[in-house]
Amino acid sequence: MTALAAAVILQAAVLATGQSYAQAHKTTQETGRPLLVMVGAAWCPACQEMKSSLIPQLRRRGILKKVSFTIIDTDRQGELADQIMSGGTIPQLIMYCKTDKGWVRRQLTGGQSVGGVERFIDQAVNKNTASTLRR
C-alpha cells in the first residue's frame, strides 16, 4: 500500500468517526465525558451494519454528543484493538467512564440496536454526572 493510499484510508476513517482514538481520548481527559470506542473490521457484516446504520442514527438523534466517540479497525489498528478489547468477538462497544473510584470499563459485544446503545450511553453519562454532582 502506498503512503498516499494509507493517508486516504486514515482520512476516511477519521471523517467517518469524527475523530481518531488519540483525539477522542484527549477530549475525554479534558471534558470528563465518557469515551465510547467501537472496535470492528471491514470484513465483519455486523460491524458494517453498525457503522452504516446504527452510528448515523445515534448521530442524528444527538446521542453521540454525550460521549467522545471513535472507531477502531482491528485490521488497521490491531495493536490498539488488542489492548482495549476483551475477547475476540466483534463488534465491541467499549465505554470508559470516570467515577469517584477511578475509570470504569463497560462493554457491549455483537450487533446492537439503537435503543440498546442509547441506554448504554445514558447509563454511563448519568453515572458520570452523578459522580460529578457528589463532589
For residue range 7-65, list pLDDT tens digits in order. Answer: 334 444 444 446 899 899 898 888 889 999 999 999 999 999 999 999 999 999 999 99
Bridge partners of residue 107, in order along the sequence: 94
d(CA 64, CA 42): 22
What's the whole-model pTM score? Answer: 0.78
Longest dimension (CA), the chain: 52
3-state secondary structure at position 116 = helix
What CATH number is given to the structural domain containing 8?
3.40.30.10
Q: 82: which DSSP letter?
A: H
Count of domains for the chain: 1
For 1, 8, 43, 54, 60, the CA distances from 96, given in Å and listed in that order, are: 33, 29, 26, 20, 23
pLDDT exceeds 80 at position 2: no
Residue 85 is part of which domain span? 3-133
User: To which H or E segment does residue 17 belong?
Assistant: helix 3-17
pLDDT for residue 38: 95
How confident is the model over 90-124, as pLDDT tens digits?
A: 999 999 998 888 889 999 999 898 999 999 999 88
pLDDT for residue 128: 59
pLDDT for residue 111: 87
